[in-house]
Amino acid sequence: MKKQDISRSIEKVDSREKISGAAAFTSDIKLDGMHYAKSVRSPIPRGRIKQVNLPSLPKGYVVVDHRDIPGENVVKMIHDDWPVFPKTEVAYIGEPILLVVGPDKEKVAELADAVEIEFEELEPTFGFTNSAIDLHYDKGDPDRAFETAARTVSYEYETGYQEQAYIEPQGFVGYLDEGTYTLVGSIQCPYYVKNAVLATMAADEDDVRVIQAPVGGAFGGKEEFPSLTATQLAVALRKVQKPIKFIYEREEDMIATTKRHPSKVRMEAALDENNNIQGLRAHVGLDGGAYLGLSGVVLSRGMLAATNAYTIDNVWVDGDVYVTNTVPNGAFRGFGAPQMIFAIEMFIHHVAKEVGEDTYTFRTRHQVSQGDLTSTGGVYRDPIILDEMSKKAEEISDYHRKRKEYEDPDTFKGIGMSWFLHGCGFTGSGEQEKIKARVKLKKDADGTVRILVAAVDMGQGPKTTFRKLVADVLDLPLEQVLFPYPDTRYVPDSGPTVASRTMMVVGGLLARAAKDLKESWREGEVQEAMQRYKQPDYIEWDQDRMKGDAYPAYSWGVNVVEVEVSKVTYEVDIKHVWSVYDLGKAIDERIVLGQADGGQAQGVVGLGYLEVMEHEGGALKQKNLTDYIIPTAVDMPKTENHIMDNPYPLGPYGAKGVGELTLVGGPPAVALAIEQAIGRRVRKAPVTPEYIMELIHNG
């Protein structure tokens, strides 16, 4: 029997329970004797805690703070700088200092409001001055490239904060189950949470259990931050010994949780006498906020994208994470790459314009090909189909005709195109050395197969696609393959749900485990199949020097955006987005197309144009969904998205990464369209009407 193409879409397995409202998200969970927790937060950007004055607490109400921590007062991530509860100093406005816990939610809120904390204020740090992490890599001989240059061109670019704005705020429900800290929450990374709680509670492996509830959107925002709320909640559980619900309100979520790093990127190109870029120097600065968290890794991914989909032989890239007394920044779909891809895509155009060349010809001449060296001297081993992809994108968008037509400045219309790549999975040897993913399939005597992995469905669909994949390998009906919500009591650590690794890495291991199970299948017996990640032999990566193959595979994309700018208000009507993607092979086409639309909503419309967040003296000016404007159905343009198969030999059915790819190239595409419409060089995203006005008035 000929099998159906794996890409052919099926009904998402959890659609019905979500449409009907029956799916129990974290805040829908109720437990007997449930208590509520509420944070008391720092009102100042930096200061010493002098004294905490508590209101008189009725019976059953308690305060939980740093003194209640049995283990380490550190949120275990990469660096040890982020406290669970600050002991002596606060470092940003909104930093949670202590919790008030009790049986009545209103009373808890009232008591939390009545807590008075006296501070000795200290001088806060803002801006791009106080570097805490600096990274560097180079390739070829950049000094010589600049010494021998016929000319050099340099520009600076900026991007702003972006808030994940998942519609379901952060939250957990926790309880003690015969002494085991059991945390059910809205999370991306069950084992990050578990490991953080183990360290804070000085607990044994079996004393902490983390369960994923249905997740109402995450986009990176529930990657590392839940480790903070989970550790605080575990400390509270130990003290209160009652089930506790700990849900952030929208404003708390906006002021206190991680955002996309604001960036400043400086780029300098060395050109030879034929206007070829023979050298590139780049410096990437990220505003890390008060604590480092994942900022170093975000910086690294950003830096690695410095040459994007171009081959430049001589490269010098530096980057810094600056510590400031502002909300800590962290993971957000794209993870540093959107900032860098914005800079390099704009820069390539600006260099071409500077030397008087046609931008399209100029960038095509520098485009990567299979066999070229990456920015870090690794090799693009797999076929690259960017030519076919851009041709397709140009056709469906009528790019060239419109580009010419909109050269007439009176039209105030523009069309922009970006092309871009995204490295799939963890950087370098991260999968092999840090994550060491393990997956398990368990077959019951009746032939039911259970998928046991820690990968989280936060809307992007692995509940469906993993079942589809495993069922397909095993030749079983979908109903015979189950994928329960990850629970660390039963699932091995298959790694976090991040870095566009879920299908390629975890799915790849599942496909291999399914193949093993199929080959050893014995009717009526309980069986298990395990797989552990093994890095492809050819990958060589030197983490200290950032040299070699930064990623095992790359996904590719082309975005075309058409706009019309109002001559009166400078508001931008984003009329249409066309995209073509190479993500290897779609495991479910409709799910991938959904990712495409969603990524463009956040990338083209959100980060590119609409979403503005700023702070003043460390206080965010946008604190809720009324001030922080995310795209509505009216703001979202029509889209046309195409997937081109280009199977990756080591991915399941050829699949590579999807989720982030659909966002990272959005901002430059819309910015280039606006650049054409207004006839000014755009160097900042989001390209707001205010910024457009500034550009037009100041020339």
Partner 1 sequence: MADITFTLNGERITLREEPNLRFLDVLREKLNHTGAKEGCGEGECGACAILLDGHIVNSCLLPLASVDGRDVVTIEGYRMTERYQMLEKAFIEEGAVQCGICTPGMMIAAESMLRENPDPTDEEIRHGLAGNLCRCTGYNMIIAAIRRAAKEGEGLW
Contacting range for partner 1; rule: CB under 8 A; set: 63-71, 137-145, 636-644, 650-658: 636-644
Q: How far is the CB of 476 from partner 1 (least distance, A)?
A: 22
Question: Which of 274, 477, 524, 634 is in the footprint of partner 1 by CB under 8 A?
Answer: 634
Query: How many residues are recorded in the chain?
Result: 699
Question: Which of 107, 238, 239, 250 is in the footprint of partner 1 by CB under 8 A?
Answer: 250
Nearer Cβ to partner 1 (493/588) = 588
Cα distance between the two ends of the chain: 66
Q: How far is the CB of 408 from partner 1 (least distance, A)?
A: 28
Residues 573-592: x/- map of binding to partner 1 (CB under 8 A)?
-----------------xx-
Enumerate residues 317-356 that contact partner 1 by CB under 8 A. Answer: none
Helix axes 190-201, 225-240, angle to 10 degrees: 50
- Got the DSSP string for 539-586? --EETTTTEE-S-SEEEEEEEEEEEEE-TTT--EEEEEEEEEEE-S--
Question: Which of 151, 614, 624, 649 is in the footprint of partner 1 by CB under 8 A?
Answer: 624
Contacting range for partner 1; rule: CB under 8 A; set: 68-76, 310-318, 540-548, 596-604: 596-604
CB-based contact 432:548 (threshold 8 Å): no
Q: Does 597 bind partner 1 (CB under 8 A)?
A: yes
Q: How far is the CB of 673 from partner 1 (least distance, A)?
A: 18
Closest CA to 155 of 65, 313, 294, 267: 267
What is the residue type of 98? L
Q: Does 78 bind partner 1 (CB under 8 A)?
A: no
Checking DSSP bridges between strand 615-616 and strand 619-620, what pairing results, if any? antiparallel
Q: Does 598 bind partner 1 (CB under 8 A)?
A: yes
Contacting range for partner 1; rule: CB under 8 A; set: 261-269, 381-389, 474-482, 595-603: 595-603
Q: Does 258 bind partner 1 (CB under 8 A)?
A: no
Q: Does 594 bind partner 1 (CB under 8 A)?
A: yes
Q: How far is the CB of 501 from partner 1 (least distance, A)?
A: 19
Q: How far apart are CA 97 and CA 120, in angstroms?
A: 15
Q: Does 110 bind partner 1 (CB under 8 A)?
A: no
Nearer Cβ to partner 1 (222/350) = 222
What is the residue type of 463? K
Reading the block at residue 545, the tokens are 């020097």
DSSP 8-state assignment for residue 39: E
Q: How far is the CB of 634 from partner 1 (least distance, A)?
A: 5
Residues ≥6 apart with Cβ < 8 Å to 358: 352
Contacting range for partner 1; rule: CB under 8 A; set: 299-307, 393-401, 407-415, 454-462: 454-462
Closest CA to 335 of 159, 499, 217, 148: 499
Q: How far is the CB of 534 from partner 1 (least distance, A)?
A: 32
Q: How far is the CB of 594 from partner 1 (least distance, A)?
A: 5
Q: Does 414 bind partner 1 (CB under 8 A)?
A: no
Q: Does 398 bind partner 1 (CB under 8 A)?
A: no
Q: Does 122 bind partner 1 (CB under 8 A)?
A: no
Backbone phi, then psi, for 579, in 5-degree steps? -140, 150
Reading the block at residue 197, the tokens are 């709680």
Question: Which of 69, 593, 678, 687 is in the footprint of partner 1 by CB under 8 A?
Answer: 593
Reading the block at residue 504, the tokens are 């390629």
Exposure of 20 by Cβ count < 10 A (0-12 exposed, 13-18 middle, 19+ buried)? Answer: exposed
Q: Does 8 bind partner 1 (CB under 8 A)?
A: no
Nearer Cβ to partner 1 (314/497) = 497
Residues ≥6 apart with Cβ < 8 Å to 396: 560, 578, 640, 642
Q: Does 130 bind partner 1 (CB under 8 A)?
A: no
Nearer Cβ to partner 1 (167/445) = 167
What is the residue type of 186? S
Q: How far apart are CA 80 and CA 571, in angstroms?
A: 44
CB-based contact 146:178 (threshold 8 Å): no
Reading the block at residue 587, the tokens are 């495991």
Contacting range for partner 1; rule: CB under 8 A; set: 314-322, 457-465, 480-488, 491-499: 457-465
Q: How far apart are CA 270 and CA 468, in angstroms?
A: 50
3-state secondary structure 327-353: CCCCCCCCCCHHHHHHHHHHHHHHHHH
Enumerate residues 531-550 that contact partner 1 by CB under 8 A. Answer: none
For partner 1, the binding residues (CB under 8 A) are 9, 11-12, 14-25, 27-28, 30, 164-169, 214-219, 249-250, 458-461, 590-591, 593-594, 597-602, 624-626, 630-634, 636, 638-639
